[in-house]
Amino acid sequence: MRHEMAALDAVFASIRAIQKKARPVVRVVAHPRLRRHVRYPGDTPAGAGCQIQIWQHNIIPEAAFARSSNASDVLWSRKMPEQAPQDYSLLRDAVVLLLAAIMVVPLFRRFGVNSVIGYLVAGVAIGPHGLALIRELEGTHRLAELGIVFMLFAIGLELSVERLRVMARYVFGLGVAQVTATGVVLAGSALLFGAGWGQAAVIGGALALSSTAFVLQLLSERGELSTHFGRVILSVLLLQDLAVVPGLAVVTALGRESEALALALMFAGLKAIAALVMLIVVGRVVLRPLYRMIADTRSPELFAAATLLVVLATAWGTAQAGLSMALGAFLAGLMLAGTEYRHQIEADIRPVRGILLGLFFISIGMLVDMRVILPQLPQVVAVAAGLMVSKAMVGMLVGRLFGLPISIAANAGLHLAQGGEFAFVLFTLAMGTGVLPVATGQFLLAVVAISMASTPVLAMAGRRAQAWLEQRGVGGIASLAAEAECYSGHVVIAGFGRVGKTIAQMLEARDLRWVAIDLDAANVAEARAKGLQVFFGDAAKEAITQAARVDHARAAVITLDDPAAAAAVLRCIRKDLPDLPVIVRARDTAHMKDLLRSGATSVMPETIESSLLLGGIVLRALGEGDSQIEEVIERLKRFSYDMPGPNSAG
């Protein structure tokens, strides 16, 4: 601006000099930024006695340079410095991120590789340590962190305050024990390798945390968040989010020798508690009336905007208090879970959540510096493997201490064995405050990145370990009982073969809860790998059906193709539950009659039903009408099942 005003003074000085020559027209050539300070053509300054024509230097018509007897020569053509071009780097980065996602992720999925790995590889490729298509990491990572925020908000929507109370034992019991025990073991390992006490505390605390984003994304993809296992994992991860607060306080205090560590921890804790209480109180008072008012406008756009406001405002509020943004969003979702607006809110955020979560995984990949990893690749891989084995073992032992079946404890330990995204925050802060040497911090960041990339493999190993243990009768009944402990109004399916799978799919289509029991170990392992609630066991044993809470079920379905096995399961159920609806698959008419005498509510003979269905298709192909076909089928059913017709006596 100072340069512009100096140029403007020069213009008017030149105009005054021309005015003294009594020229009727003064032509001025000026930079666009300067032109706004000068009068437009036709305006005449007081006492000037002449007309001023002002032209921008970049759009001067040729006529302006024509010499004229009644006009002065072009008197001033000083060119101002060019205005800096507009910065489109943010838009360019967004294009690169989205392009990388849509090119790499489908390719990985086509070869059966988890999409999270695809996002990580895309991040490594386009980041500053790869092709350097994106150099500015901080802004990208800040935006990508919103992916975790929206994911935790959606998880909060799926829970309720009552269910969270049930989870409190796992959050403040299992979660605290897992973080503490893992931190102590890892800090002790750091001391053995020569770290100081302060460095060991930071290393142990940071590496004790697991990846909320990676683990919950995998559980969400498999539909396991609403299961007992999913709630256990979520409980531990929520406590880990809370543990970030004292972790940041410890690192900051260690970097300032004059500040007492106890005082820093106390201040951070009080600040966090005050923020959470304020958020809960304000949320209970404001959220429902806010959504009621927005819903009355009948504006979908305004409703979606209100949801974005709630998510971002709560995330910002907890961040200001030193807590994680995701924790604030989770509490907001929890407070909205019991409202009538829950389903619409969930539908509004689903696309945004998916995109931002993908960007988060890409941003994690961009932090990986292959120049650090490759020269020390054996050491990095060895330390990462040691980290994952240690965390898996500690997690399994802590889970057993809190009463988890060994199969679920092993699965949980492997799911939580990787490093977490908050380790990046803590290690970066520790390097900045001088608590950790830069070389050590970079090495540990590489270890965390390798372990996070291994999350899909760890999850697959956890599911297989659980299935393997249950197939050998280790923890199978306890696992089933733990999974079904909150079940009520569900359907128990005995047999998960072709027919059982079809029934389960039909129940899923109507959002009806079910649990299946099967004796085929390979079949169970395959189903559990897909996240289905299928357990290994003999449904003819009372302990198995009790573990499946058949006494709280709406119905039971027996799909076994072995007549003797089906009859045994029916007798087991009818022993204590004479009124429970039990639908049974029969092989033929004779088998059907035996099952009906044993107490089955309904029986479907597969040979007769399939034959009638095929016959109906044949009649329809021959041009018969639907009413005639239905009449024939009903008549044959009565004959085959030996059932009375509608006009028969009795």
Report pLDDT digits (tens) over 141-186. Answer: 677 777 778 877 887 787 666 666 767 778 888 889 999 999 999 9
Alpha helices in 433-520 (DSSP H): 438-453, 455-471, 476-483, 498-509
Rounded to 10 deg, the angle between the 228-255 and 212-221 helix axes is 170
CA distance 593 to 588: 9
Tokens of 262: 């106890």
Residue 315 has pLDDT above 50, yes or no: yes
Instruction: Confirm if 49 and 114 have CB atoms less than 8 A apart.
Output: no
Question: What per-residue confidence (pLDDT) applies to 390?
Answer: 94
Closest C-alpha to 565, from 542, 539, 587: 539
In the chain, the percentage of residues whose pLDDT exceeds 70 is 75
Question: What per-residue confidence (pLDDT) applies to 63?
Answer: 43
Average pLDDT over residues 267-274: 69
CA distance 593 to 581: 17
Reported confidence tier of residue 35, pLDDT bands at 50, 70, 90: very low
What are the φ/ψ torsions at residue 531 (nearest 5 degrees)? 85, 15
Q: Strand 602-605 vs strand 491-494: parallel, antiparallel, or unpaired?
A: unpaired
Q: Who has greater pLDDT, 221 or 182?
A: 182
Q: Strand 491-494 vs strand 514-518: parallel, antiparallel, or unpaired?
A: parallel
Question: What per-residue confidence (pLDDT) applies to 598?
Answer: 84
In the chain, the percentage of residues whose pLDDT exceeds 90 is 8
Instruction: Confirm if 176 and 238 have CB atoms less than 8 A apart.
Output: no
Residue 2 has pLDDT above 60, yes or no: no
Instruction: Confirm if 93 and 140 have CB atoms less than 8 A apart.
Output: yes
Reported confidence tier of residue 6, pLDDT bands at 50, 70, 90: low
Tokens of 91: 């838009």
Average pLDDT over residues 375-386: 90
Domains for the chain: give ranges and CATH numbers. 2-65 (no CATH), 97-465 (1.20.1530.20), 487-641 (3.40.50.720)
CA distance 182 to 392: 9
Residue 86 has pLDDT above 70, yes or no: no
Q: Who has greater pLDDT, 496 or 278?
A: 496
Reported confidence tier of residue 473, pLDDT bands at 50, 70, 90: low
CA distance 150 to 329: 7
Residue 61 has pLDDT above 60, yes or no: no
Report pLDDT digits (tens) over 222-238. Answer: 777 767 788 889 889 88
Q: Who has greater pLDDT, 474 or 529?
A: 529
Q: What is the dihedral of CA 518, 522, 525, 530, to 10 degrees?
A: -100
Residue 382 has pLDDT above 90, yes or no: yes
Tokens of 443: 């090495």
The mean predicted confidence, pLDDT, of the chain is 76
Instruction: Confirm if 366 and 132 have CB atoms less than 8 A apart.
Output: no
DSSP conformation class of 50? S
CA distance 628 to 598: 35
Average pLDDT over residues 404-408: 83
How far is the CA of 407 from the CAs of 181, 396, 414, 437, 626, in angstroms? 20, 9, 11, 40, 52
Cβ count within 10 A of residue 616:
16
Average pLDDT over residues 337-344: 78
Residue 418 has pLDDT above 80, yes or no: yes
CA distance 216 to 152: 9
Instruction: Confirm if 388 and 186 have CB atoms less than 8 A apart.
Output: no
Can you give the C-alpha Rg of the chain in angstroms?
Answer: 35
Residue 15 has pLDDT above 50, yes or no: yes
Average pLDDT over residues 569-598: 85
Residue 392 has pLDDT above 50, yes or no: yes
Q: Measured in Å, how far apart are the chain's first and last C-alpha atoms?
A: 103
Residue 397 has pLDDT above 90, yes or no: yes
Q: Who has greater pLDDT, 83 or 299?
A: 299
Average pLDDT over residues 130-135: 79
Question: What per-residue confidence (pLDDT) applies to 396?
Answer: 92
Reported confidence tier of residue 389, pLDDT bands at 50, 70, 90: very high
Question: What per-residue confidence (pLDDT) applies to 383?
Answer: 93
Reported confidence tier of residue 64, pLDDT bands at 50, 70, 90: very low
CA distance 207 to 359: 23
Q: Strand 51-56 vs strand 25-30: parallel, antiparallel, or unpaired?
A: parallel
Residue 210 has pLDDT above 80, yes or no: yes
Average pLDDT over residues 404-426: 87
Instruction: Confirm if 390 and 398 have CB atoms less than 8 A apart.
Output: no
Reported confidence tier of residue 79, pLDDT bands at 50, 70, 90: very low
Reported confidence tier of residue 429, pLDDT bands at 50, 70, 90: confident
CA distance 476 to 406: 9
Question: What per-residue confidence (pLDDT) applies to 87?
Answer: 60
Closest C-alpha to 330, from 395, 429, 230, 242: 242
Q: How many residues does the chain have?
A: 650
Average pLDDT over residues 282-289: 78
What are the φ/ψ torsions at residue 389 (nearest 5 degrees)? -65, -45
Instruction: Confirm if 246 and 255 have CB atoms less than 8 A apart.
Output: no
Reported confidence tier of residue 259, pLDDT bands at 50, 70, 90: low
- In three-state secondary structure terms, 604 is strand
Q: Who has greater pLDDT, 397 or 352?
A: 397
Instruction: Confirm if 560 and 585 have CB atoms less than 8 A apart.
Output: yes
- Of the listed ranges 164-178, 591-605, 629-643, the least confidently predicted one is 629-643
Which residue type, as a one-letter code, is found at position 331? L
Average pLDDT over residues 82-86: 52
Average pLDDT over residues 75-90: 52
Average pLDDT over residues 41-51: 44
Q: What is the dihedral of CA 275, 280, 284, 288, to 10 degrees?
A: 80
Report pLDDT digits (tens) over 525-573. Answer: 778 767 788 887 788 888 788 778 888 888 999 988 888 888 888 988 8
Q: What angle do CA 190, 148, 274 make, to 5 degrees?
A: 80
Beta strands in 239-344 (DSSP E): none
What is the model's pTM?
Answer: 0.61
Residue 470 has pLDDT above 60, yes or no: yes
Question: What per-residue confidence (pLDDT) applies to 263?
Answer: 66
How far is the CA of 577 from the CAs of 39, 281, 546, 584, in angstroms? 96, 46, 11, 15
Reported confidence tier of residue 646, pLDDT bands at 50, 70, 90: very low
CA atoms within 13 A on the CB side of 21: 14
CA distance 509 to 253: 54
Average pLDDT over residues 36-60: 44
